[in-house]
Amino acid sequence: MASASSHHASDEAIAAFVARVLAGEHRAGARTMRLVDDRHPLAIELLRRLHPHTGGAQVIGITGNPGSGKSTLTDRLVAHYRKAGHKVGVVAIDPSSPFSGGAILGDRIRMNDHALDPGVFIRSVATRGHLGGLSRSANDIVLVLDAMGFDPILIETVGVGQDEVEVVRIAHTSVVVSVPGLGDDIQAIKAGLLEIADVFVVNKADRDGVERTVADIRALQTLAAAPDGSWIPPIVRTVAVQDVGVSELAQAIARHRASIPPDAAAARERRRVAHILESLVKDRLLDVMAEALAADGGRDALLDRLAARETDPYTECERILRGILPQHGQEEA
Amino acid sequence: MASASSHHASDEAIAAFVARVLAGEHRAGARTMRLVDDRHPLAIELLRRLHPHTGGAQVIGITGNPGSGKSTLTDRLVAHYRKAGHKVGVVAIDPSSPFSGGAILGDRIRMNDHALDPGVFIRSVATRGHLGGLSRSANDIVLVLDAMGFDPILIETVGVGQDEVEVVRIAHTSVVVSVPGLGDDIQAIKAGLLEIADVFVVNKADRDGVERTVADIRALQTLAAAPDGSWIPPIVRTVAVQDVGVSELAQAIARHRASIPPDAAAARERRRVAHILESLVKDRLLDVMAEALAADGGRDALLDRLAARETDPYTECERILRGILPQHGQEEA
């Protein structure tokens, strides 16, 4: 929590700032995102005011295994959409260390080709420590980019863990990138991603084994229902480093968006907003928990007692919960 | 929450059941884990009673990129420890679908070679929907395996996301598995895993590029302090499918455990118990949230209004939080 005084920006000042964000001003957008990152009290008010101006942008999730060349593909998609005259937002989810909070990504350096282009806004989201918040951060950034007029907005995740799957839940279209020649584990991952994939990409399609990979995906598809009724996720072959297949991918994405029946689109929108709301509530509850744990004066002594097994985490958890949730204690009694 | 009546097992019945778990009876252990999975009210009581009997087992985390052959390596490590006379527990974290909750893992079938061996207990943990809980489930299962007398306990994760990194935080020794010849993204992942690695493995070390991979890891090591003071994580080369390097890996794990100075070991134990406690509190808070959202009678109407942008998630989040946390409303006022 920041100081209370900083909360009290005048209504006129806030309105003027919001107008700058809505006008697509990069500095105002970046400042909003920083306030969100810092959990500044003003952030919620800004997001609340931007919200009615959003919903227009198509959000495209790009996920898949490490080493599949997602970053290059994202880079080429950005170039494709720029050529077609779109302002493009990119949210890049970094697999940063849970401890240091930082990772060195060659990928991001490559994306800097677009850094001087005002029609592109790239924002990296680091995982914010072990209390989560990745989904919520991504949601908020997408909202700001949408309000700024960026459309489409690409969310690129590195990795295929639960966190990454969560993040692409807010996408209108999810692209799952595979690559020929990875091991057995990959099949398991694909099964996990199958139900979120609207479009499959087999990147590095000039490599041996591409037919096998395509066949594997087709086999997996027969195991699961298509996510949106009649839509059968197409498999697009790309060689991103040579810009091969990128416009075909963009077409498949556009076709997906256009071909969802209104009912399925409405159901998907409800799932999206439900996910956004839950991410927000979850994040706030974890803030409350972090505050409660930090405020626990006996924390060091408690950890000593836990380490010595003089008490157990289940008992201590109940004690902490009773402090946070008054009704919790009553339920127990 | 299950019905209140099922909570009231007699103290004698609970004590007798706990004795069976402590005697290492597979059926009693598996039943305990199912009660934990189902969030049965008895589960907490059982875990509380088992807790004082735990702490003896060495917990070994095995993580790394998909396709690195972690499952085969885990399989061979299990065989190695069995040959040395140990009872081995395995917790396998599955990257299951967030929707269907199931994945088909060839890996698990392979592990079935050990299924008839009473000296091995394998438990898969699926990700339990998008409210998290992976870490907490893994912690609880490790506790039960420890109480049953399994030592060592291997936690194998598929994937290198934040969730997986979280899970291996309870390990005494974390093994990070790499493989030659993956792409750029891998470097970022390695940076993220660097600080949790106590032992590096380069598996499939009969492949081209192994020297490059080893050199990359060494280069990354110079960027970060060793996690436990003077210990410099060794790099072990393995070819798991040929059982090459597996006993060297087991030696490196044993050396790590033995060579941590008491201070560092104590600090690590405090981090472990802090993590276990936080996972538990987090999980319980998310339960409370799920209940609050489910109990919100106007949920469908709310999602419609959110989808139509008649309200915004920030406003609705505050409303929901005021319902869960009475003091939250007071802070706002």
Tokens of B211: 């020297």
Cα(A82)–Cα(A68) distance, rounded to whole angstroms? 23
Taken in order of first residue, the domains within chain A and their CATH numbers are 1-53 (no CATH), 55-261 (3.40.50.300), 280-332 (no CATH)
Q: What percent of chain B has pLDDT over 70?
A: 77
For chain A, what percentages of helix, strand and coil (3-state, to nearest 5) are there?
55, 10, 30
Average pLDDT over residues A67-91: 91
Q: What percent of chain A has pLDDT over 90?
A: 33
**To probe the interface with A, which of B282, B300, B327, B328 has the most A CB atoms within 10 Å?**
B282
Query: B245 to chain A, minimum CA–CA distance in Å?
Result: 20
List of chain B residues whose C-beta atoms are within 8 Å of the C-beta of residue A66: 65-66, 160, 182-183, 185-186, 188-189
Cβ atoms of B152 and B175 within 8 Å: the answer is no
Which pLDDT does position A184 carry in this prediction?
A: 47
Confidence band, pLDDT 50/70/90 cuts, at residue B247 = very high
Cα(B153)–Cα(B147) distance, rounded to whole angstroms? 11
Query: A131 to chain B, minimum CA–CA distance in Å?
Result: 8
Cα(A62)–Cα(B169) distance, rounded to whole angstroms? 28
Cα(B222)–Cα(B224) distance, rounded to whole angstroms? 6
Of residues B99 and A331, the one with the higher pLDDT is A331
Interface contact B282-A182, CB threshold 8 A: no
List of chain B residues whose C-beta atoms are within 8 Å of the C-beta of residue A188: 66, 94-95, 103-107, 158
Cα(A37)–Cα(A303) distance, rounded to whole angstroms? 30
Q: Is the pTM of this model over 0.80?
A: no
List of chain B residues whose C-beta atoms are within 8 Å of the C-beta of residue A172: none
Interface contact B159-A71, CB threshold 8 A: no
Closest Cα in chain B to A319: B281
Interface A-B, measured as beta-carbon pairs within 8 A, has a size of: 285
Cα(A282)–Cα(A276) distance, rounded to whole angstroms? 10
Strand partners, A122: A90
Q: Which range in A113-117, A149-153, B107-111 is most confidently predicted, on average pLDDT?
A: A149-153
Q: Which range in A53-62, B53-62, B245-254 is most confidently predicted, on average pLDDT?
A: B245-254
The DSSP 8-state label assigned to residue B58 in this structure reads P
Cα(A300)–Cα(B121) distance, rounded to whole angstroms? 35
Residue B61 has pLDDT above 80, yes or no: yes
Cα(A94)–Cα(A108) distance, rounded to whole angstroms? 10
- Residue B250, CA distances (Å) to B27, B34, B76, B254 in order: 29, 31, 10, 6
Cα(A59)–Cα(A177) distance, rounded to whole angstroms? 16
| Close Cβ partners of A228 (under 8 Å, ≥ 6 residues apart) | A198, A260, A261, A264, A268
Lowest mean per-residue pLDDT among A109-123, A183-197, A295-309, B55-69: A183-197
Interface contact A285-B285, CB threshold 8 A: yes
Interface contact A159-B161, CB threshold 8 A: yes
**To probe the interface with A, which of B68, B73, B220, B314 has the most A CB atoms within 10 Å?**
B314
Query: B217 to chain A, minimum CA–CA distance in Å?
Result: 14
Residue B314 has pLDDT above 50, yes or no: yes
Residue B226 has pLDDT above 70, yes or no: no
Residue B102 has pLDDT above 60, yes or no: no
List of chain A residues whose C-beta atoms are within 8 Å of the C-beta of residue B132: 132, 162
Q: What percent of chain A has pLDDT over 70?
A: 77
Which pLDDT does position B153 carry in this prediction?
A: 97
Residue B319 has pLDDT above 60, yes or no: yes
Residue A34 has pLDDT above 50, yes or no: yes
Average pLDDT over residues A231-239: 93
Question: What are the strands, taking DSSP E only, across A112-203?
Answer: 120-126, 153-157, 173-178, 199-202
Tokens of B204: 């499939």
Tokens of A4: 């209370």
SS3 A93: strand
Interface contact B106-A65, CB threshold 8 A: no
Cα(A243)–Cα(A205) distance, rounded to whole angstroms? 12
The CA-based angle B219-B223-B226, given to 5 degrees, is 100
Cα(A158)–Cα(A71) distance, rounded to whole angstroms? 8
Cα(B270)–Cα(A306) distance, rounded to whole angstroms? 8
Which pLDDT does position A103 carry in this prediction?
A: 35
Average pLDDT over residues A40-53: 91
Which pLDDT does position B40 carry in this prediction?
A: 85
Interface contact A277-B317, CB threshold 8 A: yes
- Using the structure block, give the residue that is written with the tokens 């003896």: B56
Lowest mean per-residue pLDDT among A215-229, B150-164, B294-308: A215-229
Cβ atoms of B117 and B82 within 8 Å: the answer is yes
Could you say which of A71, A104, A320 has the minimum Cβ distance to residue B191? A104
Average pLDDT over residues A226-251: 88
List of chain B residues whose C-beta atoms are within 8 Å of the C-beta of residue A109: none
Closest Cα in chain B to A102: B192
Which pLDDT does position A332 carry in this prediction?
A: 42
